[in-house]
Structure 1
Amino acid sequence: MATPKIYLKNNVQVEPLISNWYAWHHIIPPILTGFNVVNRYIPIMESYINDPSIHETAVKDPAFRGGPFIDLDKKHVDEVAALLENTKKMAAPLFEFTDAVKELDKLLKKKATGHLMQPLYKEVPSAIRGYVELYYDRHHRPDFRFYEPLIYASPYYVEDFQTVKLSLINKDADRPFIFSTPRLSNLEAALELKLPFKSKEIDELFKMKREPQTFEYITELLNIDKNDEALFKDLFTTEEPKKYEKYTGDSMRIRYFGHACILIETKEHSIVLDPVLSYTYESDVSRFTYDDLPDEIDYVLITHGHHDHILMETMLQIRHKVKNIVVGKSIGGAIQDPSLNLLLRNLGFENIIELEELQTISAIDGIKITGIPFIGEHHDIHINSKLSYHVELDGYSLLAVADSCNQSPELYEHVHEIIGDVDVLFMGMECDGAPASWVYGPIFTTKQEREKDFSRRGRGSNYEEGIKMVNCFNVKEVYVYAMGEEPWVRHILDVEYTDESNPIVQSNMLIEDCRNRGIVAERLFAEKELFKQGVLLY
């Protein structure tokens, strides 16, 4: 009798971890790992161990859930203390790295006075000597950059810290916020794969969502311990999954998957922007999920490196489907702007395209993809690895600007002269945003004054800024998106709105203004489907 073949269940939750912390864009790149471990995670754990009741109280208040508070009750103090001690042991090279960066900052401030830099190279701390280039900017201020590919090949990039946690999720659960709560191993029925993220074995597992294999095959491939086989077996089913409904029309179908994730399909090809996907389970909130992705994705377009736009939880699960990934080109070696290209290549992705601003690739069968300048939302920090995208087919065009804030309308006037009018605009209007320290605080050399920190918010356009973009491109349809309202992104954004919340008020104003002028306008939530001609399906 033939051994039965099984499928990976479509509600298997995947959490990529680094030393029990959720792996996001600012902890994986080795030029950033140490800063977040030393300046974010260790202080949070020490605070929790010192007084867990403060954390327990804070996470019950929606205003503090996204703050530096561990979402665990006080009975887990011993486990967090053990994690802290283990982290300090494992992260010894990361302490060395971050200390060396601090010392180099001091060295340049003291001795780089405008004279020749060469004598200073021998004084660069030994931990990073040979990994950096010293330079002056055009204001004669000293700085340095890393040779980032070398850092990936150094002891500071430790793949042994990487694991993939698998468990079942059956509802829109309140998963702990990723910046502040470690994933302890004994809190749920979960299995941890001790494999680096680049492992091709991971691809074989996720292929099983549609391509069945035997249980023996996958347990042997992933080297599952005998004691874990029963738990592992629960992640599979003999039930055949829902078949993907391929688009067979002669134009373009656009599907909104929630937050900033958009799938653009023609009869033959597909493009996905900022993939962040829900798992499949019963819910009152209708949505597209992994089940609604095509078997192959020709292009994934990443707008920028924030954790809600390049989510490794999703990216690892679709890696085997993706032919090409388009990203913005980083500065090169800057701590605040790690290379998305290098990150993805070191995570096992192939065919990464670094697109320049206003560079066009004639992608497939007449589809053109152009990188559009992305302004704002990055706290006035010098970051290059960000692009909006203009997608055009047969004279029909879509512009997805993600969280771009139209703080310089003249920019888009210049862009309009090049790309012309736009049929459909997808625009983020989360116009409150978080202060600069929320994401970038661990890399700052000095603590920013609160007033200045809170003035530099990572926000999208408000009504006044957004309507200028609508007018500039003479759009026929505008969809407000990337608002973070979907329940399946709570663990990465933790946003809760009321009717009085500023982003809701501002986006309502824009929608009303557009509708009064005959422009189709809507704030998207969870799910939407469009034809290229603009005919709303539902």
Structure 2
Amino acid sequence: MKDNNRVYLKLNVALEALIDRWYAWSHLVSPATAALNIKGRHIGIMESYIKYPQIHKAAANNPKMLGGPFIDYSGERIEEISELLEMTKKKREKMLNFTKAISQVNKLLQNEADGHSLNTLYSKVPNELKGLIELYYDLNNRPNFRFFESLLYNTEYYDESAQSISLQLVESDNSRSFVFSTPRLNDENLIHLDMPFKNGIIDDLFKMKRIPADYTEIKEAFNISPEQESLFQSFFTKEAPSENRKYKGKGIRTRYFGHACVLLETNEISILVDPVLSYDGYETDVKRYTINDLPETIDYVLITHNHQDHVLLETLLQLRHCIKNIIVPSGSKGNLQDPSLKLMFNVIGFNNIIELDDMQSINVDNCCITAIPFLGEHSDIDVRSKAAFHVSLNNNLNVLFVADSCNIEPKIYERVHEILGDVDVIFLGMECDGAPLSWLYGPLMYNKLERSKDQSRRLAGCDYDQGMSLIKIFNPKNAFVYAMGLEPWLEFISSIKYTDESKPIIESNKLVKKCIEIGIDAERLFGEKTIEY
């Protein structure tokens, strides 16, 4: 009888990880950056919406304003946003005081640290930060401080009660609007559940996309109310997904899943780079690989850098149960703007994190993975949690994942080439018109940057000249440019609406054309792509 109650989770069931009802990303998990984003982003956006709902409505409907700080509720649901705002201010009062303390210690250092010993200043550190920071000078005698981040996670400033998940069916590529500027309110088409991200029942649920389980048991595990059950039941099916056969070839298979997500497979190992997956189970005009095209076990996930579209918790939490190891770039050990990826993953239930420094390698199963320097794309801020990856498989295929690294100083990659040599395949991003510094790092800045400076310091990848310089240095046989957010299923995390006249399209077209002219197989990717070697 119990077998008759066994069901699969539908392939188009999506999980959204939420913090204070906002779409979660790594800077909302790490306590210091979370506090500053609550104050400098979330509260400001909600206050603006309450005061000027029609401006938000107009901006949300304007494609040119996509990605801006505008709530997409058509100027409605003002009362609910007001309630969320008041709840946030009340529940996060200590976090808001924490941001004041960060500002105070910065002013203390700027005003009183004159090159003499900093020992006497510890007594003046605000109580909220006592025992959590170290004061220091750089070698130009400029004062700064760093967090003991592992201690920070063990304070009241890391509050798992702010975490929740929502479950919903994704039934079209554009069923969700841009998620980073609109809090997730209650909706008849989603189930909202308060639980920490580390909760193992999330793994139990998403295993069911391949392995059936008892419906009643999973319903009870999630404590589904009678009012929620009809919708919850619609997330399941008796129909088994199509069988995904493990790659058994003697060579190497490379599959592009969209954005910067690439899967490398041999008959011994699987490597997934920057996981961002589409959903299956609905009609679409663009072919793409989905979660059902992944192997049952992923040996290594590679994370290139700590931005929202490369550390997508929505995808990673769904895959957590089948990931053996995650390789991340090591960070700067407590700098405010560069929270540790390893610590962040650990507290949300990933206990399989490997950190690599520049030019450090891991060797396993006829595979060598090396982290190499990643330049630019971080607006000239001191961020170390970024790495391009060189992967050597079976001693006969070398693949370079440059991601969004911007080749602003080719000599660095010339030195890398002296160590690693030519590659067979290169994947690179060419979003050379990236957002200004304030779009991502604005809430962390002590003082608002002048507009001209803000606009000059952009989150940008390679242009044609920088990309071709990489091609000439590493001499690949294949060169692939990422789709740069153009795939329709990524609109919910991408603020990009390129046209044929957009600089990244012009520059990447030019690079692809030049590569083909000089005998390199090249393509700007879009949707699914398989290459076998």
Give the TM-score normalised by the residue count of structure 2: 0.98
Q: Give the match for residue 425 of structure 1.
A: 426
* SS across alignment from 2:481: strand
Counterpart amino acid of 1:369? I
Paired residue type of 1:215 = Y
- C-alpha contact (below 8 Å) 2:6/2:214 kept by paired residues: yes
Q: Partner residue of 2:221?
A: 221
Q: Distance in 1 between matches of 2:483 and 2:384?
A: 20
Higher mean alpha-carbon deviation, 216-225 vs 302-311, is at 216-225
Residue matched to 2:125? 124
- Residues 21-420 of structure 1 mapped to structure 2, 5 A cutoff: 21-186=22-187, 188-280=188-280, 281-363=282-364, 365-393=365-393, 394-420=395-421
Q: Give the Cα separation in 2 of the matches to 1:262 and 1:451.
A: 36
Q: SS of the counterpart of 2:27? A: coil
- Native 8 Å contact 2:401 2:428 kept in 1: yes
Q: What's the secondary structure of 1:299's corresponding residue? A: strand
1:485 paired residue number:
486
Q: Distance in 1 between matches of 2:175 and 2:56?
A: 16
Q: Give the Å deviation of 1:461.
A: 0.4
> Which whole-Å CA distance do the structure 2 matches of 1:235 and 1:319 have between them?
20
| Residue aligned with 2:14, SS | strand
Q: Write the distance in 2 (CA, Å) between the matches of 1:348 and 1:306.
A: 19
SS of 1:271's partner is strand
C-alpha distance in 2 between matches for 1:362 and 1:45:
48
Moved more, 167-176 or 295-304: 167-176
Name the CA distance, whole Å, in 2 between partners of 1:488 and 1:149. 36
CA distance in 1, matches of 2:501, 2:300: 38
Q: Deviations over 1:142-173 (max 9, x none)?
A: 10000001111110001001111001111112
| C-alpha deviation, 1:179, in angstroms | 2.4
How much has 1:178 moved relative to structure 2?
2.4
Give CA-to-partner distance per residue, 1:224-279, whole Å, 9 cap, x none: 22332222111111111111132110011000000000000011220000000001
- 8 Å Cα contact 2:476/2:520 also seen in 1: yes
SS of residue paired to 2:392: strand
Worse overlay, 229-238 or 156-165? 229-238
Query: SS of the residue aligned with 1:492?
Result: coil
Question: 2 CA distance for matches of 1:270 and 1:530?
Answer: 15
Partner of 2:521: 520
Contact 1:17 1:162 in 2 (8 A): yes
Residues 100 and 125 in structure 1, CA contact (< 8 A), matched pair in contact too = yes
AA in 1 matched with 2:421: G
Task: Kindly state the Cα deviation for residue 75 of structure 1 after the two structures are TM-superposed.
Answer: 2.2
Give unpaired runs (5+ residues) of structure 1. Answer: 533-538
How big is the shift at 1:174?
Answer: 4.6
Q: Distance in 1 between matches of 2:50 and 2:175?
A: 23
Amino acid at match of 1:129: K
How many angstroms does 1:189 deviate by?
1.3
Give, in angstroms, the shift of residue 110 of structure 1: 1.1
In structure 1, give the amino acid aligned to 2:382: H
The AA in structure 2 aligned to 1:526 is: G
Q: Describe the SS at the equivalent of 2:26.
A: coil
Contact 1:66 1:177 in 2 (8 A): yes
For residue 236 of structure 2, what is the amino acid of its counterpart?
Answer: F
Deviations 1:25-62 (A, max 9, x none): 22111111110010101111111100101011111111
User: Is structure 2 residue 14 aligned with structure 1 residue 13?
Assistant: yes
Distance across 1 between alignment mates of 2:220 and 2:269? 35
The 8 Å contact of residues 515 and 521 in structure 1, kept in 2 or not, is answered as yes
CA distance in 2, matches of 1:168, 1:351: 30
Contact residue 66 and residue 496 of structure 2 kept, 8 A: no
- Change in CA separation of 1:483 and 1:31 when aligned onto 2, cut-off 3 Å: same
Q: Tell me the equivalent position of 2:474.
A: 473
- Tell me how far apart the structure 2 counterparts of residues 272 and 216 of structure 1 sit (CA, whole Å): 33
The code of the aligned residue for 1:434 comes to A
- Separation of aligned partners in 2, 1:249 and 1:418: 30
Q: Distance in 1 between matches of 2:32 and 2:442?
A: 15
8 Å CA contact retained: 2:255, 2:529: yes
Q: Deviations over 1:284-304 (max 9, x none)?
A: 110000111111000000000
- Describe the SS at the equivalent of 1:63: helix
C-alpha contact 2:423 2:474 (8 A) present in aligned 1: yes
Residues 5 and 216, structure 2, Cα contact 8 Å, conserved in 1: no
What is the Cα deviation at residue 73 of structure 1? 1.3
Name the SS for the 1:74 alignment partner.
Answer: coil
8 Å contact from structure 1 (residues 423, 475) kept in 2? yes
Q: CA RMSD in A?
A: 1.0
- Whether the 8 Å CA contact 1:403–1:482 is kept in 2: the answer is no
Confirm or deny: 8 A CA contact 1:259 1:484 kept in the other structure. yes
**Moved beyond 3 Å, runs of 4+:** none
Cα displacement (A) at 1:482: 5.0
Corresponding position of 1:535: none
For the residues of structure 1 that align with 2:228 and 2:514, how far apart are their CA atoms? 58
Distance in 1 between the 2:269 and 2:233 partners?
A: 35
Determine the structure 2 residue equivalent to 1:536: none
* Aligned-pair CA distance for 1:4: 2.1
- The question of whether the paired residues in 2 share the 8 Å contact of 1:406 and 1:466 is answered with yes
Work out the percentage of aligned pairs sharing the same amino acid. 51
The worse-fitting range, judged by mean Cα deviation, of 109-118 and 269-278 is 109-118
Alpha-carbon contact 1:430-1:482 (below 8 Å) kept: no
The 3 A distance-change label for structure 1 pair 174 and 457 is farther
- Code of the residue aligned with 1:148 in structure 2: it is E
The code of the aligned residue for 1:240 comes to: A
Corresponding residue SS for 1:300: strand
What is the deviation of 1:116?
A: 1.2
Write out per-residue CA displacement over residues 451-499 of structure 1, whole angstroms, 9 at most, x where no aligned residue. Answer: 0000001111000110010000111110001511111211111211111
Q: In structure 2, give the amino acid aligned to 1:233.
A: Q
The corresponding residue for 2:446 is 445
Report deviation, 1:219: 1.4
Q: Residue type matched to 2:328 in 1?
A: V
Q: Which runs of 5+ in 2 are unaligned?
A: none
Distance 2:223 2:230 in 1: 14
Native 8 Å contact 1:259 1:276 kept in 2: yes
Deviations 1:72-103 (A, max 9, x none): 11221111111111111111111011000001
Q: Distance in 1 between matches of 2:76 and 2:392?
A: 55
